[in-house]
Structure 1
């Protein structure tokens, strides 16, 4: 089976981040043989005074492959880890979906998109989870994190939202790489012109001129680039990528 797992609201200002906890859960599942698992993606949700969050209001999601009989084990491992490491004062939520390619997950995807632009409630999340037969659980505090956890699963299924956590963290800046060289990074599968939305040829040279990120786009890990005034391609700063939001949508 293919499964999606997302967590939200596990941290406080002094603790390890939700992304790190998601990676710990991912690594633990792989150790138990419940894999392979994808990289973790960060999904930005709505910033509003009525929504409590630590710093960015983002959820962390990954997907994996495992025999269907181990779904409950996967949920237990994730739940126990959240219970053990979630920070004091946080409101953690966990969502796990057993993916069925014969089903339509439009409601789950729509919930995720709505969470990027509006204030949703725990009741909204529970109703959506019940209708779509998802695991959704609270793990402390108010349990408000179930909203973001469900939203993250919806956005990951949608396939064109979210940054790849720690992507290109160690790449040298102010250097030129061919597209084929960049594709050797596990967090990068395509390099795409932001304006034309066309993939670039493997021989195309890219100037890594700043700290940048890959994003989830059409279910691939994509580095978006733009043409500079000299006609050569260059990367987009991470800060600018975070501002683009909806422009990553299909």
Structure 2
């Protein structure tokens, strides 16, 4: 299965990345990285380190080999492997990053009820930072850039706290891009 995924993903990268891009590809099989094995924890730590310090590709390649993660570069400098492996580790942490690609996410915009949004897109939860959630019939002002973040292992669309409209109804709005990009 892994070779087929690698081949498909590599062809995708070659098709969509600009010529000057330096993408990396990391493929991890979750059952091969059980909690407590040390491999998962090492990948998570690598991802966190990559956010704080400059790492070298040799470190990424060694860690990938030791943890059984496929890692390949598809550009000139091969530096893309650093980000690819860091992304695996950050995803495994369950609480870092945003979803750029998700079926249906790029087709939604404007105002929509929470219920309709959850019917259309595979978002696990819609809430604000205090964990308040809109009811199914409450309107959310989505804007034109809807990107859930990974929190507690779930795809969560973050909202600003609700405001009360002149009719006494709660209205919600997605948090600004600047907030989402910091996850």
Q: For the aligned residues, what is the CA RMSD?
A: 2.7
Whether the 8 Å CA contact 1:226–1:233 is kept in 2: the answer is no
Pairing partner for 1:102 from 9, 31, 34: 34
For the pair shown, the structure with the greater C-alpha radius of gyration is 2
Q: Is the contact between residue 95 and residue 150 of structure 2 (CA under 8 Å) also seen in structure 1? A: yes
**What is the distance in 1 between the residues matched to 2:24 and 2:151?**
25
1:77 to 1:207, Cα distance in 2 relative to 1, 3 A:
closer
Query: Is 2:23 the partner of 1:92?
Result: yes
SS at match of 1:160: coil
Corresponding residue number in structure 2 for 1:165: 100
Query: Is 1:236 the counterpart of 2:170 in the alignment?
Result: no
**For each residue in 1:192-212, what CA deviation from the matched residue of structure 2 results, as whole angstroms up to 9, or x when unmatched?**
221x235x2644613316334
> Per-residue CA shift, 1:68-89, capped at 9, x if unaligned?
xx22222233334445654323
| Equivalent residue number for residue 205 of structure 1 | 138
TM-score norm. by structure 2 comes to 0.77
CA separation of 1:170 and 1:84: change in aligned 2, threshold 3 A: closer
Contact 2:158 2:175 in 1 (8 A): no
Where structure 2 has 5 or more consecutive residues not aligned to the other structure, the ranges are none
Residue range with higher mean Cα deviation, 138-147 or 219-228: 219-228
Structure (1/2) with the larger helix percentage = 2
1:12-64 Cα deviation digits (max 9, x unpaired)? xxxxxxxxxxxxxxxxxxxxxxxxxxxxxxxxxxxxxxxxxxxxxxxxxxxxx
Alignment check: 8 A CA contact 1:213 1:241 kept? no
Q: State the match for 1:127 in structure 2.
A: 62
C-alpha separation in 2, matches of 1:144 and 1:214:
27
Match of 1:21 in 2: none
Number of residue-to-residue matches in the alignment = 172
Partner of 1:169, secondary structure, is helix
**In structure 2, C-alpha distance between the alignment counterparts of 1:95 and 1:163, rounded to whole Å:** 17
The residue aligned with 2:50 is 115
Q: Rate the CA distance shift 1:84–1:224 in 2: closer, same or farther, 3 A.
A: closer
Q: Which runs of 5+ in 1 are unaligned?
A: 1-69, 246-250
TM-score (ref. length: structure 1)? 0.59
